[in-house]
Structures are given as structure tokens and as C-alpha cells.
């Protein structure tokens, strides 16, 4: 049996055909880059995104011959509003990193409502406000999973799975329904929002694809990655190092006892919902991870390409006291300061390019250690082994830095983008390819395991972050 996964990331769309052996048999990719018309604004072309999804999905289905189900994985909180009748977007898609609603969030905070500018809540309100009265009256608004499900079903489905709804900032504490109080506060009508469905379960047919296979699995990218790396029992955790960095720690069916955010800065969220039963997780966030390497390449011209970071950083045994704070768009867990800015300290006349590149890699690893400490404290659980995926895991110097900073063994996913496997597992569980989560867990086989062999200035790294966060 074959499962098609449409995996919509921040920079592009991938379609992957996953077999019942949990291996990717074929993959297609199209780049769809966001744009930043002004500082703090991150937009994308929703029509181009939908067309790219259709293109790669159709090519992948043609290569596979047939597929038995479709899974969707997506960048979370990025928001699209469109006309219910025509399917035309009512404005730009707003990326999850977009900060245009910071002031609106501050006003909500003053009223006792904790809403992040990275969530969908105020993005949806902004899009509907700027669509005008006529556009807003007939609007659909949703996260990217809703937009892709609408596209694949040719307008028949307006749905969001429980994991995306939970991460939207608009869901109730249970994650099962929309928060009526918050909807009133941000002036988003519930009729515009998608129906909340199980993450694993058939919701409708992908009629835009040959054979109209059922859409049977939907999850936010981080939840999909958690499942894809077999972290399906309490205490298992992974970090995905993409544009940002996300630690997710699997819990059980009981929601954490705190509200929007834990005392150590982690956020409770739905990992997935299957057969009406919700599994929870805790999440910690690095706002800038892989984007720091892109900054070295594009902003400073220090790297010719991102792949060269390992060779350059490994040319020196240490950063020689150079410390980097990866706060290019603020600091997430545990600081939560969007006004913080990056810092490069400890420079001397002897500082060379290799020291700076190593310091940047180690700075992101330091933030990974912050996330591990915060998640353990908020959950009351110990993370014995850390599983990791994402583009940065191709860099051996970085992976070793993560092991050293966290003091944990690090297992590197054999599939660098484990989101596709996770979405395939969710769809496959719905149609009987896999019987249960235990069978999914047994499929885990890391590409390599890395043990900690040293340490590097955790105290200095924490102090630099505190100063950058203006604490």
C-alpha cells in the first residue's frame, strides 16, 4: 500500500509516497519562498502554494501508480483567508513568523488574553479586517492544512485537525472546539473557521488527484515529526531544526495543569487526536535556527553555501570564547521576548571566520539545551535521549554540539524531514496499514547515534541570552 503525503513547509512543498515499510519511495519538491515586504512582515502567495501542492502531488501519484490515502503535514499558524464561493484568497498568506499583529497581542494581553503574534488568532483577524465587509462575510479562514485540504478536495472540505487547531491560539483548552470568548475578542466569526477533525481518520476525498484517494491524516509539521520519529509514549522528545527549532515532548491523554504557557515557558498542545482520543505534548520554540546559517550565507557572506558550515566550523577546536545568541527574530522558550535581538560577543583580534561559524552552531545548540531543561521542568519528566531531524542535522559539528550542550545522547533521524513519515503514519493508522502506535514506534531506526563528549560554556551562553532578552 502507498500513502501520499503533501508536506507544506515554510520554504516549499514536498510530496512523498510512503510505503507500508515506512520508507519514502518517491519524492517531489517545489520551492515556494515567503517574502518580507517590510521588517517583521512575512507573507506568501497562497495561490502559488496551492498550485505547487497540486503539481508535486500529481507527479508523485503518477510515479507511484496509485496511492491508497493522503496525509497532510503543514507549517502551523501560517494563515490564509479565501472566498468561500470562488476559492480566491482575500489577501496575502501570513507566515507564522509574521509579527504585524504584535500590538494587537499586547492589547489582548492587557485584557487578560494571552495570544502570541506567531499564532493564527490575530492573523485571522487582520486578514478579515483588511478583506472588507463583503469579503469577510463570505470568508473561509484557516491554517495551511485547511487551505490544502480545500485545494485537494476542490472546495468540498473546510477542516483543520486537532493539532493545528490547538496550535492556532483560537481553540478551547480541551482542543476540541473553538474558543468563543477569544473569537469575540478578535472579531473572527466562527462560521469562517474550519471544522475540527481527528488527526487520524478519513475526512473526505482528494478529488483533485487521480483516483480521488481519501484524505486520512492531517497534522501540524511538528506533531507529524514527533510521530515520524516514533516519539509516541510519554517522556519521548524530538527537536526539529528547520527555519526555527521546535522541541516536542510526548505526554499522555491528560492535558498539562497550567494554561497557555508553563512556568518554564513551554506550551501545551494537542499532539494528535485519533478515534476521538487526544494525546498531548509540550512544545518549546527557538525562533531562529537554520535561518541563522542562512544569515551567515546571505547576510554576512561568511559562507558560500549552508553545506560548507561544517567544514569551516570544524577547522577550529572551539569558538575561542565567541558566543552567539540566535535571536534574529526574538527569543522563544523560556524567555519569550520578541524584542530581543541577536548578539555576537567575545570577539578578539584573533577571531577568525571559523570561530564565528562554530559559535553560531553552538549558539543554536545552547538554545536546544534551554528547551530540554524547560520541557523537563514543565512536564516533570526526564528526557533520556533526544531524537532530532531537520536540515541542520546534516551538519556533524552541529549534531555533536547539541549532544554536548544537552548532555544527552542524540539520535539522528534517518529521514531528515520526518514530517512526511508522521503524516503517513496518521493516514496509515486510519486505513489499517499500521495497527497501533506500538507498531509505529517499532519502525524507528536512526541514521546515527551521537554521545556527548564535552561541554562548552553553558553559563556564558545563558548569560548572553539573558542580556539579549533584556532580563
Please state, in angstroms and rounded to a whole number, the distance separating the CA atoms of residues 117 and 47. 24
Give SS3 for 6: strand
Kindly indicate whether the domain formed by 230-412+435-471 is annotated with CATH number 3.30.420.40: yes
- What percent of the chain is predicted at pLDDT more than 90? 86
Fold entry, domain 2-221 = Nucleotidyltransferase; domain 5 (3.30.420)
**β-strands 93-94, 139-143 pairing:** unpaired
| pLDDT, mean over the chain | 94
Give strand pairing partners of 89: 82
Can you give the pLDDT at residue 455?
Answer: 82
Q: Is the pLDDT of residue 47 over 70?
A: yes
Q: Is the pLDDT of residue 471 over 60?
A: no
Cite the beta strand spans of 84-236 per DSSP E. Answer: 93-94, 139-143, 159-161, 195-197, 200-205, 214-220
Would you place residue 134 in the very low, low, confident or very high pLDDT band (cuts 50, 70, 90)? low
Closest listed residue to residue 9, CA positions, set 451, 419, 446 = 419
Cell representation of residue 84: 468561500
Would you place residue 470 in the very low, low, confident or very high pLDDT band (cuts 50, 70, 90)? low
The two domains 2-221 and 230-412+435-471 share their CATH topology (first three levels equal): yes
Domain ranges of the chain: 2-221, 230-412+435-471
DSSP state of 105: H
Give strand pairing partners of 5: 16, 71
Q: Supply the angle between the helices 46-64 and 144-152 in degrees, to the nearest 10.
A: 60
pTM above 0.85, yes or no: yes
Amino acid at each position: 500500500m502507498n500513502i501520499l503525503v503533501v508536506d507544506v513547509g515554510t520554504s516549499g512543498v514536498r510530496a512523498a509516497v510512503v510505503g507500508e515499510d515506512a520508507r519514502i519511495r518517491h519524492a517531489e519538491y517545489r520551492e515556494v519562498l515567503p517574502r518580507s515586504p517590510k521588517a517583521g512582515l512575512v507573507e506568501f502567495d497562497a495561490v502559488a502554494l496551492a498550485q505547487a501542492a497540486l503539481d508535486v502531488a500529481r507527479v508523485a501519484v503518477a510515479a507511484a501508480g496509485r496511492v491508497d490515502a493522503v496525509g497532510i503535514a503543514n507549517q502551523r499558524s501560517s494563515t490564509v483567508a479565501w472566498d468561500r464561493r470562488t476559492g480566491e484568497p482575500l489577501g496575502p498568506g501570513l507566515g507564522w513568523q509574521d509579527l504585524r499583529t504584535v500590538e494587537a497581542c499586547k492589547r489582548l494581553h492587557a485584557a487578560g488574553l494571552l495570544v502570541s503574534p506567531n499564532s493564527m488568532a490575530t492573523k485571522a483577524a487582520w486578514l478579515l479586517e483588511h478583506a472588507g465587509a463583503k469579503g469577510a462575510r463570505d470568508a473561509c479562514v484557516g491554517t495551511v492544512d485547511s487551505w490544502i485540504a480545500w485545494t485537494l478536495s476542490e472546495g468540498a472540505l473546510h477542516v483543520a485537525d486537532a493539532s493545528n487547531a490547538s496550535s492556532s491560539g483560537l481553540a478551547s483548552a480541551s482542543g476540541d472546539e473553538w474558543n468563543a470568548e477569544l473569537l469575540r475578542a478578535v472579531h473572527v466569526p466562527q462560521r469562517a473557521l474550519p471544522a475540527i477533525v481527528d488527526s487520524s481518520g478519513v475526512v473526505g476525498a482528494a478529488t483533485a488527484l487521480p483516483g480521488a484517494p481519501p484524505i486520512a491524516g492531517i497534522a501540524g509539521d511538528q506533531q507529524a515529526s514527533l510521530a515520524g520519529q516514533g516519539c509516541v509514549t510519554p517522556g519521548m522528545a524530538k527537536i526539529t531544526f528547520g527555519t526555527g527549532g521546535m522541541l516536542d515532548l510526548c505526554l499522555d491523554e491528560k492535558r498539562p495543569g497550567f494554561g497557555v504557557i508553563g512556568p518554564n515557558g513551554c506550551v501545551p498542545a494537542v499532539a494528535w487526536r485519533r478515534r476521538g482520543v487526544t494525546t498531548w505534548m509540550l512544545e518549546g520554540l527557538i525562533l531562529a535556527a537554520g535561518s541563522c546559517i542562512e544569515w551567515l550565507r546571505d547576510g554576512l557572506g561568511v559562507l558560500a553555501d549552508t553545506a560548507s558550515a561544517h567544514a569551516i566550523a570544524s577547522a577550529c577546536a572551539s569558538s575561542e570564547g565567541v558566543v552567539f545568541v540566535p535571536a534574529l527574530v526574538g527569543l522563544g522558550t523560556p524567555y519569550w521576548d520578541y524584542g530581543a535581538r541577536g548578539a555576537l560577543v567575545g570577539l578578539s583580534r584573533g577571531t577568525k571566520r571559523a570561530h564565528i561559524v562554530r559559535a553560531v552552531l553552538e549558539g543554536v545548540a545552547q538554545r536546544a539545551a534551554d528547551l530540554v531543561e524547560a520541557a523537563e521542568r514543565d512536564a516533570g519528566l526526564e528526557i533520556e535521549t533526544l531524537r532530532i531531524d531537520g536540515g541542520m542535522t546534516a551538519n556533524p559539528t552541529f549534531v555533536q554540539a547539541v549532544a554536548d550542550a544537552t548532555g544527552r545522547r542524540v539520535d539522528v533521524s534517518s529521514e531528515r524531514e520526518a514530517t512526511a513519515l508522521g503524516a503517513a503514519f496518521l493516514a496509515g493508522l486510519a486505513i489499517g496499514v499500521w495497527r497501533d502506535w506500538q507498531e509505529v514506534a517499532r519502525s524507528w531506526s536512526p541514521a546515527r547515534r551521537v554521545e556527548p563528549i564535552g561541554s562548552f560554556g553553558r553559563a556564558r551562553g545563558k548569560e548572553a541570552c539573558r542580556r539579549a532578552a533584556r532580563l
